[in-house]
Structure 1
Amino acid sequence: MSNPDLASLGGAAICFYGAGSMAEAILRGLVEAQLAKPSNITVLNRSNAERLAELRERYGVIPADTDVKKEAALSSADVVILGMKPKDAANAIRTLRHILRPNQLIISVIAGLSISTIQQLLGRDQPVVRTMPNTSSTIGLGATGISFSSSVSAERRELALAMFNAVGMTAVVEEPLIEAVNGVSGSGPAYVYYLMEAMIEAGVQLGLSPDAAKALTVQTVRGAAEMVYSTGENPGELRRKVTSPNGTTQAAIETMARFDFQEGMKQAIVRCAERAREMGEDIRREAAQD
């Protein structure tokens, strides 16, 4: 691998295999923060040339829209980011075995796909970074869990961290905890959206206009998150501070408790992590068919 300036990643050739929303979030962060030159970023997918052209128009990145261009981009890149759908991962990665060089850095954003399965599909101890970002990366406020194979050097660790810090924050965890990251933050935005849906619907039920209910809900959730972030206080302590005895907030909290709100949320997160492991097992079994 070349030795890029880690302050800009400017010297690294980066290839995105998969051009979905997460790939776009990451490349947007790299380009808009001027951490990587668009001319050093190539995007490819299985067959959607229109999507590749769209990304070229928006960010100036290079589309690889023919088989020859795809193979050239994959074989010459310093960093290959795997972003295909989990159901397509095993077959797609298997085809890379004779295209990639053994020293290329592989970064996966595929839910459930373990480092060992990637290496099994490639047939070697390739340097692999496993990540679990979330969709808030699209606006630069993502949360990404990240793990490294033993063959990833300190320099390459810093490169991977710089990439994901460009779209939010990162937490380095041991690989078995990536599923926990998936449960808490990977799917976490959807839980908050689900809560917001209920808040908006209740506001409308109580007589607010849909626009007013949405605006109040959005600002409330935004402000609550910022309070936790800026004060550093525990959410439970902040909740207690605004819950007066026998007041309106206490009445609401007691109602949620009767519906086992916290237990339901915890079980949802555990189930999300379990499902990620199940998906990983499906990919592992498919990989074992080699």
Structure 2
Amino acid sequence: MKLGFIGTGNMAGAIMGGIIKNKIFRPEEIIGADISPAGRERAKETYGICVTDNNREAAEKSEVLILSVKPQYYADAIAEIRDCISDDQLIITIAPGKTLAWLEEQFGKAVKIVRTMPNTPALVGEGMTAACVNQYVAEEEKEYALKILSSFGKVEIVAEHLIDAVVAVSGSSPAYVFMFIEAMADAAVAEGMPRPQAYQFAAQAVYGSAKMVLETGKHPGELKDMVCSPAGTTIEAVRVLEEKGFRSAVIEAMKACADVSRNM
């Protein structure tokens, strides 16, 4: 096996799907370990990978190992596999709050670690992932990790002290965006639009607006001003959002999110 997963949940599945679709690895080159029989069977049926209930088996058979369990299970998972991790294996982590220093301490030896923070849009190939590496990862190994991570969206190297900001701005933010879409759809329904159509209009508006930011390179404020005609409908909506503390609510929510990440 070339690639292993400990944990085969939604994020692991998104990564597997991107990797297989982009032919980074073949399904038979991937092994996933999960204590849940249902989780193992789902991964096997969906992606055609090899599965096991033994974390050590996944670790021993992998050149690159992705730890995709919840943060609270990281210490136990690492304790189970650390004595079978070799010097040339690459470990990729996706847990908020688990720093490179903490991870190295858990392994208790020199281990090549790539710490990452992906997000759930990876499920549709539009993820945004931040990555940082420890001192044992060579340049070519870092590039190899980035190739894997870019198979399900975009990836950027960031300084480790920015990971908590990444959690707030991309890791957790799909939830805020989904709430925004839901709220806009609710308002459209209140105006008489059928709900399925309301979701379609709201989601496409968010998608298209995000694409404009990414592709035009214009400042979001400039793009907002382009929509706001004098004495028009949009500027009135913007006025109400400002009156209700829209920007402040988003900023405070993200600060709270980063604080929780920082203290996990």
Normalising by structure 2, we get a TM-score of: 0.96
Structure 2 match to 1:60: 48
Of 202, 206, 211, the residue aligned with 2:191 is 206
Q: Percent of pairs identical after alignment?
A: 35
Structure 2 match to 1:89: 74
Of 6, 15, 32, the residue aligned with 1:43 is 32
Matched position secondary structure for 2:263: helix
CA distance in 1, matches of 2:74, 2:202: 38
Structure 2 match to 1:17: 6
CA distance in 2, matches of 1:53, 1:196: 33
Q: How does 1:160-199 map to 2 (within 5 A)?
A: 160-199=145-184
Structure 1 pair 208–72 and aligned structure 2 pair: CA distance change class (3 A) = closer
Q: 1:254: Cα distance to partner?
A: 0.5
Structure 1 match to 2:144: 159
Unmatched tracts of structure 2, length 5 or more = none
Q: How does 1:120-269 map to 2 (within 5 A)?
A: 120-269=105-254
Q: Which runs of 4+ in 1 moved over 4 A?
A: none
Matched position secondary structure for 2:81: coil
Matched position secondary structure for 2:238: helix
Instruction: Assess if the C-alpha contact under 8 Å between 1:102 and 1:124 holds in 2.
Output: no
Q: 1:218: Cα distance to partner?
A: 1.6
Matched position secondary structure for 2:20: helix
Q: Cα RMSD (Å) of the superposition?
A: 1.2
Q: 1:229: Cα distance to partner?
A: 2.1
Instruction: Assess if the C-alpha contact under 8 Å between 1:74 and 1:100 holds in 2.
Output: yes
Q: 1:49: Cα distance to partner?
A: 1.9
Give deviations 1:138-175, integer Å, cap 9, x for gaps: 11100001000011011110111001110000111011
Residue identity opposite 2:23 in structure 1 = Q
Question: Number of paired residues?
Answer: 264
Unmatched tracts of structure 1, length 5 or more = 1-11, 280-290
